[in-house]
Amino acid sequence: MDISSLIFESKHTPRIYTPNEHCITTCKISRGANKVMTRLISAGFQAFLVGGSVRDLLLERNPIDFDVATNATPTQISSIFRRSRLIGRRFKLVHVRENSELIEVATFRKSPEHSHGADKTRIIFRDNDFGRIEDDVIRRDYTLNALYLDYATLNIFDFVGGMQDLNNGVLRLIGDPEARFGEDPVRVLRAVRFSESLNFKIAGFTDTQLKKYGARLRYIPPARLFVEMDKLFLRGFASRNFCRLRELGLLSHLLPFEECCQNPQFNSVREDFLESALSSTDTRVMEGGSATLGFLIAVFLWFPLKMQIEKLSKFENAPTEALVSAEEFILLTQLKKVAIPRRITKSVRDIWALQRIFAKPSKRKADRIIRHPRLRAAYNFFCLRVEAGEIPDDPIRWWSGFFEKSKKSGKLPFSSSLSYRLDRSRQ
């Protein structure tokens, strides 16, 4: 079907930006996304690049991922791509594997009727009513995420003034804030993420509304909150997002123990520890390095864990039993809020367990953990504790010497030494 026929049938006439009016070319789109859209068009369907990838390309940023929208149904998409997988309950879509890339392909949707799309809270839990591109625009959240790049022509279709908001540095909801935040409170977290990472000013809604509808995050499935947590803290703006969520009183919906630490001035060590971890993670991401949510979760829960160990030590017979009980309590409480995968909780436990070895070093213990897969993360964690003033730096001096010797002998399984933290810990 020709896209122009859809436009003229619609009540919403888009502003069309031709290729000479924007900076996006096919060479800026990933190889996998290019292939997926080409095959959709060859099969007789429409193919649009949409959402954050269009926004980031227009802002001359490197997109994290490329999302595709089409008029093909999920079943039709799956039949076109052999390496594909249908996923989602609330929102059915298809993941298409192209070499090492995972391309998300979604069918145009229309807003569901509340009678079958939402529960008594009026939050939409099912969003699988297929529609046309005009319908799809209206159910998107923010104007800057509702720009559609037609792959066949490279024209950008803007139905809601997204290009103007993008140029003006404005974050604006599509539709009434009360309704849009009400039907999906996760949009509150996205408002924080977009405004902080893009440094955009919000327009058309207030902090009061963010707080009000942010409270409804308690109704959101833990699995969805994990996805948002990943995006909030692993995209290079963890420190800013953390501070903004705390300012709005929303952190406890992701980190249940945050409520017991609402007075930062009473625990400057914890605050220094958190800020160092967040800022160092942001630096690594911005420099193209790797960062893991397991490391940050270990950071977020470290002081609650210490408090729980101290509490249980009064009743448990042995410190080891208190530690195990405390870890179980802390992680299970966290999992009720955010569905953290087992591989990540395993990483958290490993980072915590290695702290005892780092605190009381010996050659025998060091040789045993030299090839531990969490060694680097756990050591960085330990150094952050030293820098925050939680513990003295004497063990770091021992480990620095050990790592240097291990590097020279070829035992250290990294290309660089871990002793770089020592100078920072002396400051």
Of 349, 345, 365, the residue nearest 357 (C-alpha):
365
- Is 96 strand, coil or helix? strand
Amino acid at 148: Y
| Chosen domain end from 168, 199, 229 | 168
pLDDT at 267: 74
pLDDT at 421: 47
| Chosen domain end from 168, 183, 208 | 168
pLDDT at 155: 98
Q: Is residue 246 part of a domain?
A: no
Q: Do residues 260 and 139 share a domain?
A: no
- The whole domain housing 282 covers 251-426
Low-confidence ranges of the chain (pLDDT < 50): 1-11, 114-117, 417, 419-427
pLDDT tens-digit profile of 35-46?
A: 999 999 999 999
Number of compact structural domains in the chain: 2
Q: Do residues 22 and 121 share a domain?
A: yes
- For residue 26, give the CATH number of its domain: 3.30.460.10
Please tell me the distance from the alpha carbon of residue 105 to that of residue 239, in angstroms, as a whole number: 31
CB–CB of 157/133 below 8 Å? Answer: yes
pLDDT at 261: 59
Q: Do residues 2 and 123 share a domain?
A: yes
pLDDT tens-digit profile of 291-307?
A: 999 999 999 999 999 99
List active site positions. Answer: 65, 67, 141
Q: Is residue 181 part of a domain?
A: no
Q: Do residues 256 and 368 share a domain?
A: yes
Per-residue exposure over 365-397, b if at least 16 CB sit within 10 Å of its own CB, e if not: ebeebeebebbbbbbbbbbbbbbbebeebebbe
Q: Is residue 323 part of a domain?
A: yes
pLDDT at 420: 41
pLDDT at 79: 95
- Is 107 strand, coil or helix? strand
